[in-house]
């Protein structure tokens, strides 16, 4: 019986991958479904459990989002989700996932530094770009200076205001550095077909307890 389920899982993975390879809209739909599942099922207890898991933080291992990667994430649902993020002005609502593994970046925004904490220093997230109106971090291309960005660990809700948006080279890692006295949110995704990066930065403007009212900003 165990062997049967192993074979069945492999066949299912192959079929999903083939569907995604030949249909980009299906691929984007699958990614959106993965994100929506984690957004709707996240609780503070799950966050606490996932925060204890190890993450992958090697930038060099991050590769373009593939159909196989999405198919695997669709079947496994193994991403360590530790929060939610939202930029309502551009319709971005995603899970925050620990690290930059394939599962993480197929699910939402991945934390870029091992020990970063919400509401402190420079909280940096990376995400894949699909199309200008697609899933994951794609909508950030349409964000504007002054837009609000929100993150939560299901205990507190942090509100940030975007003050910086620019296309930068992949070598601009200084944007991830902590700056004394500043509490920032940095969002990174691909630009120019992957040659460069969109870098969006926002400054913390408020922090409030998470409850039904304050968490409503993460609902589509």
Query: Rounded to whole angstroms, how far apart are CA atoms 165 and 142?
Result: 10
Q: What are the catalytic residues?
A: 128, 190
Q: Are 86 and 171 in contact (CB under 8 A)?
A: no
What whole-number distance in Å separates Cα of residue 151 and Cα of residue 93?
10
Ramachandran assignment for 192, one of left (phi > 0), alpha (psi -120 to 50 degrees), beta (any other): left
Q: 126 to each of 35, 62, 206, how far by Cα in Å?
A: 15, 10, 22
């Amino acid at each position: 019986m165990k062997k049967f389920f192993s074979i069945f899982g492999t066949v299912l993975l192959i079929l999903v991958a083939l569907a995604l390879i030949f249909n980009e809209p299906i691929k984007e739909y699958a990614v959106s479904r993965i994100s929506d599942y984690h957004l709707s099922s996240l609780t503070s207890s799950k966050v606490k459990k996932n925060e204890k898991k190890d993450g992958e933080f090697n930038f060099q291992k991050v590769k373009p989002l593939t159909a196989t990667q999405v198919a695997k994430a669709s079947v496994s649902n193994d991403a360590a989700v530790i929060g939610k993020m939202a930029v309502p002005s551009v319709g971005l609502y995603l899970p925050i996932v620990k690290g930059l593994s394939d599962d993480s970046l197929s699910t939402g925004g991945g934390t870029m530094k091992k020990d970063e904490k919400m509401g402190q220093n420079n909280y940096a997230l990376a995400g894949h770009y699909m199309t200008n109106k697609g899933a994951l971090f794609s909508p950030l291309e349409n964000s504007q200076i002054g837009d609000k960005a929100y993150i939560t660990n299901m205990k507190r809700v942090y509100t940030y205001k975007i003050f910086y948006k620019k296309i930068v080279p992949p070598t601009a890692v200084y944007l991830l550095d902590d700056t004394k006295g500043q509490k920032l949110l940095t969002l990174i995704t691909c630009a120019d077909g992957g040659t460069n990066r969109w870098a969006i930065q926002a400054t913390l403007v408020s922090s409030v307890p998470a409850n039904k009212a304050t968490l409503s900003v993460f609902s589509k």
